[in-house]
Amino acid sequence: MALSCNNTLFPKPFFTSCSSQTQGTHFSNLPQPTKQDPIFKIKGPSTLSGHITISGSKNASLPLLAATLCCSGTSLLHNLPNVSDIQAMASILSSLGAKVDAFDGKMRVNSDGVGKVEVDLEEMKKIRGGFFVIGPLVARFGEAVVALPGGCNIGKRPVDLHLRGLRALGAVVELRDGKVWARAANGRGLVGGKFRLDYPSVGATETLMMAASMADGTTMLSNVAKEPEVVDLARFLTDCGAWIEGAGSDNLIIRGKRQLYGSECVIKPDRIETGTFMLAAAITRSCILLSPVIPSRVSCLIDKLSQAGCKISRLDQQTLQICNLKQWHFSLHALVPAWWRSPCLTTV
């Protein structure tokens, strides 16, 4: 069975030319995902071959889309992945009043027209990542009403750190009727503060980073997540005018700004998708090419697979060749848990 990059297995970005004349999200020309059986039937053994184009990172895209709510003017995001979560987040932004245009693998967002701070319940049910908007809404508009997260089958992933962190920044936070009601206690906006996360949650770190970027004063966050997606968000916010120091370390120092402005960014390749296909080549004793990739973001997996007998070559700045044509030196059972425990690939 050959693994080729065709439009059926690996579709091009779903964004097509869209009208920008009217308010809201314009998805009239977008092919809608087709419903499939929730079971994959795989017949093996077989080997894989060919080249795979790695999509932009979903875990980076969602907080970046939410961060556009912090900004006056227009933001432009490139290389968004073809997944339903992106459409769901665009719908959430549009339902709040933002103007969202999708075209050629890009998304343009202007949040100047945001006129409400309560996210539609049905929209929130579709996607856990929609909860990211609570930080920007409270920071910029002084209040937010967001349903508790849905759309995730991984298991229970509480948002208590997000809420406690917002309280540390001067928000009054209440839970009523399955929704989070948050507002600035002083009636104006959030204020700088100190907060230590119980554990380095990526979602809480990103939510609080967005909130603190517009808080009045300096915020110090400790025991924060260090994942690449956190660094990508910090870089985007900085390009928008925020002052953030320490991204990629255990501690963040953020000096709030009264106003941020839209910027432009390119979503980095998805490191989890990259790692998944690297493992696919390894376990089927195959040889495949992957691009674009950022090798430093999968360095832990490269080391482990190399130890297991795979030959991994860097053909250019963003192309990896993964070949495994021999028996493994140790079991996949021992390898996979080590990969998922690695900070290079773990996301909370």
Per-10-residue mean pLDDT, the chain, length 348: 34 35 41 64 89 97 98 97 93 96 94 94 87 96 89 58 97 92 95 97 97 98 98 98 98 97 98 97 96 96 94 95 74 51 46
Residues catalogued as catalytic: 152
Domain boundaries, the chain: 58-149+158-266, 269-323
DSSP state of 170: T
Q: What is the pLDDT of residue 134?
A: 97
Q: What is the pLDDT of residue 123?
A: 85
Q: What is the pLDDT of residue 100?
A: 97
The closest alpha carbon to 262, from 96, 135, 76, belongs to: 76
Residue 155's contacts (CB-CB under 8 Å, 6 or more residues apart) are: none
Q: In angstroms, rounded to a whole number, what is the distance separating the alpha carbons of residues 146 and 18?
A: 29
Topology, domain 58-149+158-266: UDP-n-acetylglucosamine1-carboxyvinyl-transferase; Chain (3.65.10)
Pairing label, strands 311-316, 319-323: antiparallel
Q: What is the pLDDT of residue 58?
A: 96
Phi/psi at 94 (5° precision): -65, -40
Q: What is the pLDDT of residue 150?
A: 60
Q: What is the pLDDT of residue 257?
A: 97
For 240, the token pair is 């928008």
Residue 121's contacts (CB-CB under 8 Å, 6 or more residues apart) are: 147, 179
Q: What is the pLDDT of residue 6?
A: 32
Helix axes 160-168, 134-141, angle to 10 degrees: 20
Domain covering 269-323 assigned CATH 3.30.1370 in the classification: yes
